[in-house]
Amino acid sequence: MAIRRAQVSIDRLRRRGEGRKTKAIPADETSCPRCGSQFGADELRRNHRVCGACGHHFRVGGRERLDQLAGFRDWDELWPDMRAADPLRFTDLEPYVRRVEKAEGKGIGEALIAGDLEIDKVPCIAAAMDFGYLGGSMGSVVGEKLLRCCDRAVERRVPFVVVTASGGARMQEGVLALMQMTKTIVGFEVLHDAGVPAIVVLAHPTTGGVWASFAALGDITYAEPEALISFSGPRVIEQTTREKLAPDFGLSETQLANGQVDAVVDRRELNERIGRSMSILSRDASAGPAPAVAWARDRAGQAARALPGFSRKFLSRVRREEGEEV
């Protein structure tokens, strides 16, 4: 029996689709804006909101950020009842009070969330800014919370870790918001004077008064990939100068090349990196120096003690060769 070979052609189907645009699937918070990969909500949360296909870092809220740093273990929130006031009775397109109510309707109390927790089994005080609350802007409550975090870290002798994501000072609070720049700098000076480590993680975006104050003062400064880190954003600069900026302007990789940050770290590796850094920086002084330091000091001492004897021996030999009495 002869075998009949089937012939398949898709040319007709291709011609049928000519001139017709493919309908794009609407993007949502579980689809990657860079590569279009789709993820389940639980899968994305387990992966620290990082795309497993291309490595794109999704935006993370302040409370979830502390969950990630704590390894999804329990932690205690600090000063959860602090709320913004409206001493200036500020109104632009709508009253400041109304904007605060809308932000709190998302389940966020303020633009900075602080807590007592452990990162990679190392106790610390940690704080995270939430861009979802009025663009993560720094107002009076943010400055007060951050200063209290610094004081608490000094009191407990544990490191302080802060994750920034902010558009800058909160314009609705005027000069009161600008005063928080000085206030937060004082807090970091308190940490430095007490010898308590401060680690800053710069997330997208970190701009304005936050970058011009405490965000640039960490003992160690990490940044997430492709995070915008600058005082003014590219759009504002281009509109002001009428010049086109480089595509990588202000990105964390550019800031690393310019020496503004210590490392660009994938979010999934942050816990281990921060934990190791805290262990090194918070070494107890009573435990003595590290082995390498102790060895170097011992060798230096031996060399110093040998110098006088070596000099006398060398001088005696020279005198004998010259026929002088020793």
For 113-130, what is each residue's pLDDT tens digit? 999 999 999 999 999 999
How does pLDDT run across 230-272, given as a tens digit for each residue?
Answer: 999 899 999 999 999 999 999 999 999 999 999 999 999 999 9
Pairing outcome for strands 76-78 and 112-119: antiparallel
The first and second tokens of residue 184, run together, are 């937060």
Q: What integer pLDDT is reported at residue 1 of this predicted model?
A: 55
Cα–Cα distances (Å) from 115 to 123, 242, 274, 294, 315, in that order, read 11, 44, 16, 37, 67
Architecture of the domain spanning 58-286: Alpha-Beta Complex (3.90)
Q: What is the DSSP letter of 86?
A: -
In this predicted structure, the answer to whether residue 225 has a pLDDT above a threshold of 60 is: yes
The pLDDT assigned to 326 comes to 44
For 284, half-sphere exposure in the C-beta direction (CA atoms, 13 angstrom radius) is 2
Taking 70 as the threshold, does the pLDDT of residue 278 lie above it?
yes
Read off the pLDDT of residues 185-223 as tens digits, 9 standing for 90 and up. Answer: 999 999 999 999 999 999 999 999 999 999 999 999 999
Residue 320 vs residue 62, higher pLDDT = 62
Interval 147-168 mean pLDDT: 97
Confidence of residue 84 (pLDDT cuts 50, 70, 90): confident
Give me the residue label for tokens 């770290």: 265
Listed in sequence order, the DSSP H helices in the chain are 11-16, 41-46, 62-69, 96-104, 140-156, 175-194, 208-211, 234-241, 252-257, 270-281, 291-321
Q: Which residues contact 88 (CB under 8 A, 6 or more apart)?
A: 96, 172, 173, 174, 176
Q: What is the pTM of this model?
A: 0.79
> Rounded to the nearest 5 degrees, what angle is found at the Cα of 206, between the Cα atoms of 270 and 160?
50
Residue 282 pLDDT: 78
For residue 283, the one-letter residue type is R
Question: Mean pLDDT across the stretch 168-179?
Answer: 94
Give percent of the chain above pLDDT 70. Answer: 78
Which band of pLDDT confidence, cut at 50, 70 and 90, is reported for residue 161?
very high
CA distances from 80 to 85, 113, 114, 181 (A): 15, 8, 8, 22
User: Tokens 């009428």 sit at which residue?
Assistant: 242
Domain ranges of the chain: 58-286, 289-326
Any residues with CB less than 8 A from the CB of 106 and at least 6 apart, and which?
132, 133
Q: Quick one: tokens of 28?
A: 């949502």
Alpha-carbon distance of 70 to 73, in angstroms, equals 6
Q: Give the type of residue at 81.
A: D
Mean pLDDT, rounded, of the chain = 86
Distance of CA 187 to the CA centre of its chain: 18
User: How high is the pLDDT of residue 289?
Assistant: 52
pLDDT digits (tens, 9 = 90+) for 295-311: 666 666 666 556 555 55
